């Protein structure tokens, strides 16, 4: 009776429903976007607090059930249901988002929300516990990753409450956690595409030193090509433009497929040609000049990042590093 793959696990514990609604801190003037209302357990509570609830639900049977549940109540006039896939739906204006979503769409949904304009006040989202832990991880935590760095660039995130699997019917195979996401505005004034280029590179081997990562031949070759393009354009800002916040959520595998030059696919060639000599450089696939290698090394040494590891760097440090590279015309595209 449940749609396979739609993550239809209905939240049965009214205390948790209440707690989610409380933590949303709703005002009577708020427009709430609810994603995946299902049979409406959360929706009915949200309608008590907010001016309006706009619910996006993919499953027509759930839409019918929800309509039936509010029909004839005073709340009916305050509920708008959009039937469709939230990832393919243009989102309306909202102040607060509340979502108990299928876990497969966690990452694309998070970044879709963070790209939404105008910026909303907060999103209260139920995620798979492990995903939630990765989202809120701080520098030095074992779960610190590109996901945490990019999310936290765009938003403040905090863990609100862990929800055991037995609070759902049918119970999923994993536990859940409710997370609060508050978009930062204004965003830090950086080029998101370059930011993500640096972050991807640094987190390919998050426990290696940046010195080691930037000695990689494929990395040097890739960066020198960017550098030459930027020089040729006679401009510090090379082509490529900015990225949308949504791109920061793109999965690593997708980007690896976009780049056949190897810079993004180093994960597959452990310990490759780092020690290759000049002969190797000349004949090898990845060409770069000695002068460029030195330029990169100097940036890392001067800024004190050569022996640092991505796993321990905070956002401000990544920003400093990016700015240091920009000073000498090195870009991440």
Q: Which parts of this chain interact with ligand SAM (CB under 6 A)?
A: 3, 6-11, 35-38, 41-42, 56-59, 62, 85-87, 100-102, 105
Nearest residue relative to ligand SAM (C-beta):
36
Residue 169: strand, helix, or coil: strand
| H/E segment holding residue 280 | helix 278-283
Q: Which residue has the tokens 């939230």?
A: 86
What DSSP line would sit under 80-132, residue for residue? EEEES-GGGSPP---SEEEEE--GGGHHHHHHHHHH-SSPPSEEEEEEEHHHH
Beta carbon of residue 9, minimum distance to ligand SAM (angstroms, whole number): 5
Q: What is the rounded CA–CA span in Å between residue 333 and residue 321?
A: 15
Cβ proximity to ligand SAM, 35 vs 202, nearer residue: 35
Cβ proximity to ligand SAM, 8 vs 152, nearer residue: 8
Structure tokens at 2: 């449940």
Beta carbon of residue 98, minimum distance to ligand SAM (angstroms, whole number): 9
DSSP letter (8 states) at residue 55? E
Residue 70: strand, helix, or coil: helix
**Angle in degrees, CA 250, 149, 173, rounded to 5:** 65
Beta carbon of residue 195, minimum distance to ligand SAM (angstroms, whole number): 28
Beta carbon of residue 41, minimum distance to ligand SAM (angstroms, whole number): 5
Structure tokens at 91: 């989102």
Q: Which residue has the tokens 């514990």?
A: 13
Burial 112-149 (b: 16+ CB within 10 A, else e): bbbbbeebbebbbbbbbbebbbbbbbebeeeebbbbbb
Cβ proximity to ligand SAM, 37 vs 197, nearer residue: 37
Give the CA radius of gyration of the chain.
Answer: 23
Beta carbon of residue 148, minimum distance to ligand SAM (angstroms, whole number): 24
Cβ proximity to ligand SAM, 59 vs 317, nearer residue: 59
Q: What is the rounded CA–CA span in Å between residue 66 and residue 38?
A: 7
Cβ proximity to ligand SAM, 46 vs 201, nearer residue: 46
Cβ proximity to ligand SAM, 10 vs 190, nearer residue: 10
Strand 122-128 with 10-11, pairing = unpaired
Beta carbon of residue 131, minimum distance to ligand SAM (angstroms, whole number): 14
Beta carbon of residue 2, minimum distance to ligand SAM (angstroms, whole number): 9
Beta carbon of residue 243, minimum distance to ligand SAM (angstroms, whole number): 23
Cβ proximity to ligand SAM, 9 vs 116, nearer residue: 9
Q: What is the rounded CA–CA span in Å between residue 158 and residue 140?
A: 17
Cβ proximity to ligand SAM, 56 vs 300, nearer residue: 56
Q: What is the rounded CA–CA span in Å between residue 277 and residue 199?
A: 28
- Nearest Cα residue to 272 out of 322, 194, 213: 213
Beta carbon of residue 126, minimum distance to ligand SAM (angstroms, whole number): 7
Cβ proximity to ligand SAM, 165 vs 308, nearer residue: 165
């Amino acid at each position: 009776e449940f749609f396979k793959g739609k993550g239809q696990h209905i939240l049965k514990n009214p205390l948790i429903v209440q707690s989610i609604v409380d933590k949303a801190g709703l005002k009577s003037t708020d427009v709430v976007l609810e994603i995946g209302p299902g049979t409406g357990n959360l929706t009915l509570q949200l309608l008590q607090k907010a001016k309006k609830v706009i619910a996006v639900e993919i499953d027509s049977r759930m839409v019918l059930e929800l309509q039936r549940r509010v029909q004839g109540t005073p709340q009916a006039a305050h509920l708008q249901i959009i039937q469709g896939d939230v990832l393919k739906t243009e989102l309306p204006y909202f102040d607060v988002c509340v979502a108990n979503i299928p876990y497969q769409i966690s990452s694309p949904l998070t970044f879709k929300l963070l790209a939404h304009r105008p910026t909303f006040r907060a999103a209260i989202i139920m995620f798979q516990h492990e995903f939630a832990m990765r989202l809120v991880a701080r520098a030095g935590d074992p779960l610190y990753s590109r996901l945490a760095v990019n999310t936290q660039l765009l938003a403040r995130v905090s863990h609100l409450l862990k929800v055991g699997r037995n609070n759902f019917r049918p119970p999923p195979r994993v536990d859940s956690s409710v997370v609060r996401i508050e978009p930062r505005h204004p965003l830090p004034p950086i080029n998101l595409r370059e930011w993500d280029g640096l972050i991807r590179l640094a987190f390919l081997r998050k426990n290696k030193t940046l010195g080691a990562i930037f000695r990689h031949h494929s990395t040097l070759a890739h960066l020198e090509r960017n550098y030459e393009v930027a020089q040729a354009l006679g401009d510090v800002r090379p082509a490529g433009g900015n990225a949308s916040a949504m791109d920061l959520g793109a999965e690593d595998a997708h980007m690896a497929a976009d780049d056949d030059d190897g810079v993004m696919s180093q994960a597959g060639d452990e310990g490759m040609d780092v020690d290759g000599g000049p002969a190797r450089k000349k004949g090898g696939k990845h060409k770069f000049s000695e002068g460029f290698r030195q330029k990169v090394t100097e940036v890392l040494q001067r800024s004190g990042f050569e022996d640092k590891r991505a796993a321990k760097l905070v956002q401000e440090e990544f920003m400093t590093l990016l700015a240091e590279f920009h000073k000498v015309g090195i870009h991440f595209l």
